[in-house]
Amino acid sequence: MGGESMVAFDLDSFEDVTQRLIAAESEREICDIAISEIPSVFDVSLGALWLYDSDASELQLAASTERADEVFDWPVTYRPGNSLSWEAFEQDEVRTYSELDAERSQYNADSSVSSEIILPIDDYGVINIGSLTAVEFDDETVRLARMYATHIQAALQKAEREHDLRVQRDRMERFIGVVSHDLRNPLHVVKGRLELARQTGDLSHLEDAEQGVARMETLIDDLLTLAREGYAVDERTAVALETLAKQTWEMARTRDATLSVEASIPVFGDETRLKQVFENLFRNVADHAGEDVTVWVGPIVEDDTAETGTVGEQGNDQVTGFYVADDGPGISPDELADVLSVDRLATGDTGLGLSIVAQITDAHGWDLSVTESRAGGARFEVTDDTRPVSPFHSW
């Protein structure tokens, strides 16, 4: 076409960036390397990489060249039907455009980009390489650009595998900590009571031994839950907060405790895993707050601090999550900061229950925090911070 120039491809720069991608350890580093080297490899100034967020069903900007930052109003998010980039990603098809003015499916019809090549990166996302002046992407350039995208994909896959291995290693270390601490205590109780029963003939000691066995069974069940489920979150559905609370209340062995659901909202998540969240939070209350404790469950709204109220009283305030609060003895101020830390969950007296809660809420992309309730007890808050589902894409 008249006025177009051929894209120059630098093979030495290509080989150098390939080695750097292989050595990269994180998703962030991979994206930055891939995009920063586009001008030297392809001799064009524009480049950007979008990663797919499966939870939001959109491509989110992860990295861009300096020139692209100067030209465009970032961030740009691609969603179904709004761009050529989404079409290329959805159809897993490399697209090349030498005259973008003639294309009506652009994200921005007034874009200053004249030529562009769009490269899907498997299920990870898409990389765009472009120019403000008209250029021609010949067959050889397209072939090498495909290779470039393939190397990026391989680096992302390697980083993801290594991340998964770190998660498994951390989980195993947590298991070891729990087994060495939480299982040892009830085991000592069982051994001690059995010895007293033998020495004294008083069979009442067997009741304490039986309680120790029950505690170990609970811990083993919790260990199996973490080992089998981990971060897994299956199909999400809208479940009423009141339903989740009431259906799990009895299962948590709360004895003489009282449950009060102050208001109900739909919670969008994996119903089975959400029930595990409530069961473990309720069990934590039963274990630490006494038999006659009162537990409140309700939605969290903007600027809300109370454990009471109804949806009507909340008006049009935005709901940001839900809470489980109690009027028990609470958590001392010096422990609030680290009660949900990994070390505390692994070796503290909270056992595995809160660890399960933390993993499930994290798998949903939510935050778990603890503070003091209005009644002086503990208040656990689960809030949505809009992070993607997969912990790998957490930045």
48 and 61 in contact (C-beta within 8 Å)?
yes
User: pLDDT at position 387, please?
Assistant: 40
Q: In CATH terms, are 5-162 and 234-393 the same topology?
A: no
Tokens of 280: 């473990």
Q: Are 370 and 331 in contact (CB under 8 A)?
A: yes
Nearest CA to 88 among 129, 56, 55, 54? 129
Question: pLDDT at position 51, please?
Answer: 94
pLDDT reported for residue 379 = 92
What pLDDT, on the 0 to 100 scale, is given for residue 106? 57
Kindly list the domain boundaries of the chain, sorted by start residue.
Answer: 5-162, 234-393
Q: Are strands 135-136 and 5-6 parallel, antiparallel or unpaired?
A: parallel
pLDDT value at position 75?
78
**pTM here?**
0.53
pLDDT for 312: 37
The closest alpha carbon to 86, from 46, 50, 130, belongs to 50
CATH superfamily of domain region 5-162 = GAF domain (3.30.450.40)
Query: Under a CB-based contact definition with an 8 Å cutoff, are residues 381 and 321 in contact?
Result: yes
pLDDT at 395: 24
| Helix, strand and coil percent figures for the chain, each rounded to 5 | 50, 20, 30
Side-chain half-sphere of 172: how many Cα atoms within 13 Å?
6
According to DSSP, the β-strands at 135-136 and 115-121 are: unpaired
Of 76, 171, 178, 54, residue with least CA distance to 123 = 54
Q: Which residue reads 């992407």 in tokens?
A: 137
Asked if 145 and 119 count as a contact pair (C-beta separation under 8 A), the reply is: yes
Q: Where are the beta strands (DSSP E) in 181-307?
A: 237-240, 258-261, 266-269, 294-301
Q: Quick one: 234-393 is in which CATH superfamily?
A: Histidine kinase-like ATPase, C-terminal domain (3.30.565.10)
pLDDT of 179: 62
Regions of the chain where pLDDT drops below 50 = 1-2, 305-306, 308-315, 342-350, 386-395
Query: Cα–chain-centroid distance for residue 155?
Result: 21
Distances, alpha carbon 237 to alpha carbons 14, 270, 303, 381, in Å: 46, 6, 27, 20
Alpha-carbon distance values, 285 to 137, 193, 208 (Å): 64, 27, 21
Q: What is the structure's pLDDT at 112?
A: 78
Residue entry with tokens 């490269």: 119
- pLDDT recorded at residue 98: 76
- Look at residue 345 in the predicted model and tell me its pLDDT: 45
Model pLDDT, residue 150? 94
